[in-house]
Every structure is written in C-alpha cells, then in structure tokens.
Homo-oligomer: A and B are copies of this chain.
Amino acid sequence: MVDTGKFIDTAIQEIKTAAGNDKVVMALSGGVDSSVCAALAARAIGDRLIPIYIDTGLMRKGETDRVRTLFGNIHLQVVDAADEFFSCLKGITDPEAKRKAIGERFIRVFEREAKKQGAKCLLQGTIYPDRIESEGGIKSHHNVGGMPLLMEFSRLIEPIRDLYKDEVREVAGALGLPTEIQHRMPFPGPGLAVRVLGEVTPEKVAVVRQANWIVEDELVEQYHPWQCFAALIGLGTGVKGDNRIHGWIVAIRAVNSRDGMTADPLDIPFSELTRIGSRITADIPRVARVVYDITAKPPATIEYE
C-alpha cells in the first residue's frame, strides 16, 4: 500500500511540472479514477484544468446530473452526444466492433471539445490493472488511452498509473472526495453498451439502465460488492396472463474482488435473489426472465463483453 500523503504530494508536483503554464484537458467520467485525477490536477494547476464530461447516452440513470452537481465548481464541460453514439452503433453486433465504434466516437468528440479549449496537455486516469490487461488484450478500450488520438498533445499525464483500485480509493479518501465517489464501483468506458449483448438500441439501453438501477439499489449498500450491475443478454419466452410473450432476459452480476484481476460471484441469499428478480420483472414489463451469474473471473470476465 502506498503512503497516500506522500503520493499526493508527488503527483501534484508531477502534474505541475508536466503542465507548465499550459491548459490541461481530461475526460471526466465521474468514476473514482478520473475523479481522483481531477482532484489532484485541480490542486496542482487550479482552473487551468478543463475536465470534459461526455454524455454518451450509455450512462447509468442519473449519472450526468450527478457529475454536474459534484464537479460543477471546477470548469466542467458537459457534452450531450447521445444521438451521435446511437447513430454510430446502429447495426453493429460484434462486441469488439461495438467497443471500437464507441472508442472512436469518444475520441472524436473529445478531440472536438479539447480543440475548443486550446489545451496542449492530456491528463488520463489510467491505473495499473488497465495497463496490464491492455497488454494481454483483455480490455481493449475502457479508457481514452486505448485509442489513438489524431490530435497532437505535447504531453500525456497519467498520475495514478502505478496504483491498484483499492489504492486509488484510499487516495480519494485522503483527498476528501465524497464517500460516494471513493467507494464507487468500476464502470466500463463504453458504458451500458457492453451490458447489452448484440446491437445497441435506445430501447435496450433504457431497459438495462432501469434494471441496473434496481440491482445497485438492492445490493450496493447491503453487500458492498466490488461491482454489481445488470446486463441484457437476450430475448426469451415468458407468460403474461394466459398469453405467451417474448421478453428480455436480464442477468444480475455481483462480484467480490481485490483488484478486478480475479473475482468471485457474491453469495446472495436465494430469497433475496428471487425478490430482486421479481422487482425487475414487475417494474420493467418488457423483462420476462432474470438470471444470476455464478461464474468467477476467470473463466468469465466481470463484464459481459
């Protein structure tokens, strides 16, 4: 474990040196990694930090408003790009192609907004497991860093590149960030798109967003899992009244993990699981079936795509 006080001082100094007198842009998602980077950079260079929050239309329920509230006091740029993202995802079913399309669109939107700011430095919240897994090809584009930027930045700053997730959380605490951010679960860069198997449509994203809200509401405070979420994994048959219907199949994923490299499914009492499943099918009429993921990582990944 790092000495957080010492780490913070060193990181602030590193950002100051790298930035010089230039403006620094970063993609702020509201997750713990980018939030810690934003807090460090704000201390280092004040309002020369320009965090850009891109609303891809693939965010969780209430996410955009939450980020706006939390980071409104630094020069946050909020960009609504949902239509752009859904357009570029139309007809794409291959998981890698989906990730690439989102990654590319994200870079293009980010570049467009960064150019407006005239920044020469790019700050990124890459952490240690991201670097390891990128090398092995396990994650491809969770971060902006996974994609080549056409735009020229004179400097790339990655202040938390050597930290594990739990160390990042400690630093978040030491920086005085809200507990909500400090204990925030990992959320993938491509957002809800990787929690929808097959083509990404506004309807499917709306279903998985609502299911995900319920899963987080039921599990986060009670079980403090490393990560929990809902995924929409297919269409199966169900029955409403006397009629056969086709409805979405929602998977609940909840895991414990130390660092995200390996993970175990959470042991939730069966009566709780079935109650949560019933809440999902009752609240979202288009869902006919709920399953609980019982696979460790490996052989599964935590996310579905």
Tell whether, in the assembled complex, residue A289 and residue B281 are in contact, meaning their CB atoms are under 8 Å apart.
no
Asked whether A288 and B281 contact (CB < 8 A) given A95-B246, A236-B300, the answer is: no
Tell whether, in the assembled complex, residue B301 and residue A239 are in contact, meaning their CB atoms are under 8 Å apart.
yes
**257-305 of chain A: CB within 8 A of chain B:** 265, 267-268, 270-271, 273-274, 277-278, 281, 287-301, 303-305
Tell whether, in the assembled complex, residue B295 and residue A289 are in contact, meaning their CB atoms are under 8 Å apart.
yes
Tell whether, in the assembled complex, residue B138 and residue A197 are in contact, meaning their CB atoms are under 8 Å apart.
no
Tell whether, in the assembled complex, residue B300 and residue A243 are in contact, meaning their CB atoms are under 8 Å apart.
no
Asked whether A296 and B274 contact (CB < 8 A) given A136-B244, A244-B136, A291-B251, the answer is: yes
Tell whether, in the assembled complex, residue B239 and residue A298 are in contact, meaning their CB atoms are under 8 Å apart.
yes
A237 within 8 A of partner (CB): yes
Interchain CA distance A258-B304 in the complex, whole Å: 35
- The count of identical subunits is 2
In the assembled complex, which residues on chain B have CB atoms less than 8 Å from the CB atom of A267?
270-271
Option from B95, B281, B300 in Cβ contact (under 8 Å) with A299: B281
In the assembled complex, which residues on chain B have CB atoms less than 8 Å from the CB atom of A281?
295, 299-300
In the assembled complex, which residues on chain B have CB atoms less than 8 Å from the CB atom of A244?
136-140, 301
Tell whether, in the assembled complex, residue B242 and residue A136 are in contact, meaning their CB atoms are under 8 Å apart.
yes
Interchain CA distance A240-B163 in the complex, whole Å: 24
Tell whether, in the assembled complex, residue B289 and residue A292 are in contact, meaning their CB atoms are under 8 Å apart.
no
Tell whether, in the assembled complex, residue A240 and residue B136 are in contact, meaning their CB atoms are under 8 Å apart.
no
A25 within 8 A of partner (CB): no
Asked whether A298 and B236 contact (CB < 8 A) given A291-B291, A292-B292, the answer is: no
In the assembled complex, which residues on chain B have CB atoms less than 8 Å from the CB atom of A181?
none
Option from B274, B291, B293, B298 in Cβ contact (under 8 Å) with A240: B298
A235 within 8 A of partner (CB): yes
A233 within 8 A of partner (CB): yes
> A95-B246, A237-B300, A274-B296 known; 14 other A-B pairs, CB under 8 Å?
A137-B243, A138-B243, A138-B244, A197-B235, A239-B299, A251-B291, A268-B270, A287-B299, A288-B300, A289-B293, A289-B299, A289-B300, A290-B295, A291-B293
A residues neighboring B (CB under 8 Å) = 95, 136-140, 197-198, 233-240, 242-244, 246-247, 249, 251-252, 265, 267-268, 270-271, 273-274, 277-278, 281, 287-301, 303-305
* 25 residue pairs A–B, Cβ–Cβ below 8 Å: A95-B237, A138-B243, A197-B235, A198-B234, A233-B233, A233-B234, A234-B234, A237-B301, A237-B305, A238-B299, A238-B300, A239-B298, A239-B299, A249-B304, A252-B294, A267-B270, A267-B271, A281-B300, A289-B299, A289-B304, A290-B293, A291-B294, A291-B295, A292-B292, A292-B294
